[in-house]
Structure 1
């Protein structure tokens, strides 16, 4: 059986997915990120990936 966390497309492009859930007080964080993404005119997924790149480089 295939593992969705370790999926390779038929064209052999590696792909990984993550599903984030923001609950309770975390919803404020989500709203803040969403607002920043909208201000940057980027989809929230792209904005979050850019944030992660910054953290990884630190």
Structure 2
């Protein structure tokens, strides 16, 4: 998905650790993003606070 997002990410890679709920790294160029997830519902209020101000079209936010 990252590779298709922008031409600067054509060499993007992703590593996941299957033993954990979710832990992974995504990287391209000098950038690395750490990801972590848990098998539990995320509070709706927290999602709204993070997603509402994002500079993306409404259909992406939904």
Fold conserved (TM > 0.5)? no
Instruction: Considering fraction of residues, name the structure with more strand.
Output: 2
Structure with bigger RCO (C-alpha 8 Å, 6+ apart)? 2
Instruction: Considering fraction of residues, name the structure with more helix.
Output: 1
With normalisation by structure 1, the TM-score equals: 0.31
With normalisation by structure 2, the TM-score equals: 0.30
